[in-house]
Amino acid sequence: MDEITVRYVTTAGLEREERIRTDETSMNLDLRDMVSIDLLPLIWCSRLESLTLRHNKLTEVDLNPLSKCRRLRSLSLSHNLLRDIDLNPLSECPDLEDVDIEHNDHLKKVNLSPLFECPKLLELRLDPTVVVTADIFLRSVGSWPEVLLERYHRILWTYDGKPR
């Protein structure tokens, strides 16, 4: 089977890499002391179900390659230093059940709109101080994942990125 190489940089400035087979269902990169990672090679991992990047020093992560991982069920980015996160690529992951972005102290706001496209979503973990937003047009969508329905009262509804 083919392999891909995921490259990352540590806090010491060292470039490291992790090789995985393209048919792997899980990738765990916990506790690697990474400050940046290139997930682009994951476009070849169509069977990937779980990606774990917990307990690192990531300030940003480009999730765009995950739009090709349509079997993704779990994403964990907890205990990092994320300042912003674009969840849009996750709207292409219909089997997504679990998203964990807790304990990212610099993360102030998250747009949950893409997660409305994930009907199987069961768990969404984020800190209570994080402002959650969503597109106002989603208010009329009849079928929401239960976990988002539970957060209805906390969602700041926006139109073109502006509060309404």
* pLDDT, averaged in runs of 10, over the chain (164 residues): 95 97 97 97 98 98 98 98 98 97 97 95 97 89 83 88 60
Q: Measure the CA dihedral 98/102/91/37, to 10°.
A: -110
pLDDT for position 108:
97
- Domain with residue 8: its CATH number is 3.80.10.10
pLDDT for position 162:
62
pLDDT for position 70:
97
Place of tokens 């807790």: 102
pLDDT for position 144:
84
pLDDT for position 26:
98
| Domain that residue 102 falls in | 3-163
pLDDT for position 142:
66
Task: Report the Cα–Cα distance between both ends of the chain, in Å, rounded.
Answer: 51
The total number of structural domains in the chain stands at 1
pLDDT for position 6:
98
User: How would you classify the pairing of strands 123-125 and 98-100?
Assistant: parallel
Helix, coil or strand: residue 118? coil
Return the amino acid letter for 74. S
The pTM of this model reads 0.94
pLDDT for position 161:
61
pLDDT for position 140:
75
